[in-house]
Amino acid sequence: MSHFCRTFRKQSEQSLWKTFIRLSDTFTSSVSSHRIESGTSKVESGTSKVESDTSKVESDTSKVESGTSKVESDTSKVESGTSKVESDTSKVESDTSKVESDTSKVESDTSKVESDTSKVESDTSKVESDTSKVESDSSKVESGTSKVESGTSKVESGTSKVESGTSKVESGTSKVESGTSKVESGTSKVGSGTSKVESGTSKVESGTSTHVRD
């Protein structure tokens, strides 16, 4: 880009000098100082325009470099995000190992409790302490019992709701049966009306036959 700018500027200056020479010859032949000054101002204006174009090219070059630095910054951000993900993965693995360590610790504590129980059986002096522990365990059992009773009451409440739903279903069934009986009653009435119509028809036919004989 810089080489292009230098070449462009050099060619522009050469072209401008050629123009200036032609103008100078013209102005010399016309012996007009006013026109010479005007040509000179045009050359200076052209030179300033070339310099403006050169600065514009340099500005575009700086923009390209700024875009390149931005891409490099984004690349570094992506790499930083990748390292953060890897760090989080290692943290999860560390937490998993910690959970496994805690589990082994609980199992160790369980074995220790069993050992303490055997010591209680062999050591009479610790009977009072063991009694207080038993009372504490009893309170825990009572708490568990109350929770069981609460759960039982919830089950009973659920059972009552089921029974209420069952009664509603039975009520709906009785209504359906009542509707069915009404339909059957209506059907029987229709049948009765049909038999009456048939009876009337037979009477009409009987009267017609009597009339024919007469």
Q: Which two tokens stand for residue 209?
A: 């036959």
What pTM does this model have?
0.26
33 pLDDT band (50/70/90 cuts)? low
- Phi, psi for residue 32 in degrees, rounded to 5: -125, 100
Res 35 pLDDT > 70: no
In this structure, what is the dihedral angle of CA atoms 14, 17, 19, 20, given to the nearest 10 degrees?
170
Q: Please report the pLDDT score of residue 38 as a whole number.
A: 65
Domain locations in the chain as residue ranges: 1-75
182 pLDDT band (50/70/90 cuts)? confident
In this predicted model, what pLDDT tens digit does every residue of 69-116 receive, in sequence order? 887 888 888 788 788 888 888 888 888 888 788 888 878 887 887 777
- Residues of the chain above pLDDT 70, percent: 76
Q: Which two tokens stand for residue 22?
A: 């032609």
Place of tokens 């790499």: 79
Q: Please report the pLDDT score of residue 135 as a whole number.
A: 83
Mean pLDDT rounded to a whole number for the chain:
76
Q: Please report the pLDDT score of residue 34 as a whole number.
A: 58
Report which residue type is found at 59.
S
Res 36 pLDDT > 60: no
Q: Which residue has the higher pLDDT, 17 or 208?
A: 17
As a whole number of angstroms, the distance between CA 156 and CA 44 comes to 104
Q: Please report the pLDDT score of residue 47 as a whole number.
A: 77
Res 202 pLDDT > 70: yes
Res 213 pLDDT > 60: no
Q: Which of 27, 61, 62, 29 is nearest to 41 (CA)?
A: 27
Res 157 pLDDT > 80: yes
Q: What three-state secondary structure class fits 1?
A: coil
Res 212 pLDDT > 70: no
